[in-house]
Amino acid sequence: MHAGENIMGSTKLVAIVLVVIGALALIYNGFSYTTRDTVAKAGPLELKADKTHDVYVPVWAGVAALLVGGLLFVVAPRR
């Protein structure tokens, strides 16, 4: 295996990842995750609460990821 073949494979992999991320960003418009925070603490007792955080992905970011990934996939060297 030559160094050029490894770069070609890496470029195609990055392109595919960008296309998938861009498509998911356009379909779901973001994601959310939950953290557990300590609300109160009295000696050995703790009161915890779950807090949901929403992360929104702009449409332009999804479109940009799709375009860059598509261009990388098409322009990547072929052997």
pLDDT in tens, 54-65: 999 999 999 999
Return the pLDDT at 76: 77
Q: Which of 1-5, 42-46, 71-75 has the lowest mean pLDDT?
A: 1-5
Burial of 12 (0-12, 13-18, 19+ CB in 10 A): middle
pLDDT in tens, 16-59: 999 999 999 999 999 999 999 988 998 889 999 999 999 999 99
Taking the C-alpha atoms of residue 74 and residue 7, their distance in angstroms, rounded to an integer, is 14
Instruction: Tell me the pTM.
Output: 0.68
